[in-house]
């Protein structure tokens, strides 16, 4: 059975989100609001087709993609930079490379026990988020 990320997930920890936001050039006022958010992720997975909706009291972000098919990502409401994104499987990890103005940009999702993990990367910064099922 392939790994299934489907479900509703609540953020429980968020290590170095500040550093990640600084690397993305997010302004101080926005970072101050964003760093206290407890976003929820709703993931719908049908094989290699994904719908990942990250919601919060401040902003929402919807991403839809198929593994192995490159797409244009607009990062609207985040840093608003466009990039070319490609998500692939690395064993049971879902790995996204976001090619654009920012070096070493991307993220990785995986399941560990009952937890959903997300590593967000930009330049030399790594943010580690952990989610639990709602």
Contact positions toward ligand ECB, by CB under 6 A? Answer: 21, 24, 26, 30, 34, 37, 39, 41, 52, 54, 56, 58-61, 63, 78-79, 107, 118
The 3-state DSSP class for residue 78 equals coil
Walk across the sheet containing 71-73 and list its strands.
Answer: 61-66, 49-55, 40-46, 7-15, 125-133, 115-122, 106-112, 93-99, 83-90, 71-73
Closest approach of Cβ 38 to ligand ECB, in Å? 10
Nearest to ligand ECB by Cβ — which residue?
63
Which residue's CB is nearer to ligand ECB, number 10 or number 30? 30
Which residue's CB is nearer to ligand ECB, number 31 or number 114? 31
Residue listed under structure tokens 């550093």: 19
- Rounded distance between C-alpha atoms, residue 46 and residue 128, angstroms: 25
Closest approach of Cβ 110 to ligand ECB, in Å? 11
Closest approach of Cβ 1 to ligand ECB, in Å? 21
Closest approach of Cβ 83 to ligand ECB, in Å? 11
**Please, what is the Cα angle at 104 between 71 and 2, to 5 degrees?**
55
């Amino acid at each position: 059975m392939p790994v299934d990320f489907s479900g509703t997930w609540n953020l429980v920890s968020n290590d170095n989100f500040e550093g990640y936001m600084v690397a993305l050039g997010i302004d101080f006022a926005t970072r101050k609001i964003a760093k206290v958010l407890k976003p929820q992720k709703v993931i719908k997975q049908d094989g290699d087709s994904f719908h990942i909706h990250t919601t919060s009291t401040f902003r929402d972000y919807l991403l839809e993609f198929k593994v192995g098919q490159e797409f244009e990502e607009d990062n609207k409401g985040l840093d608003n930079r466009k990039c070319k994104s490609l998500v692939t499987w690395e064993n049971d990890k879902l790995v996204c490379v976001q090619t654009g103005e920012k070096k070493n940009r991307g993220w990785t999702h995986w399941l560990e026990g009952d937890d959903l993990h997300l590593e967000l990367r930009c330049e030399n910064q790594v943010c580690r988020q952990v989610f639990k099922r709602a």
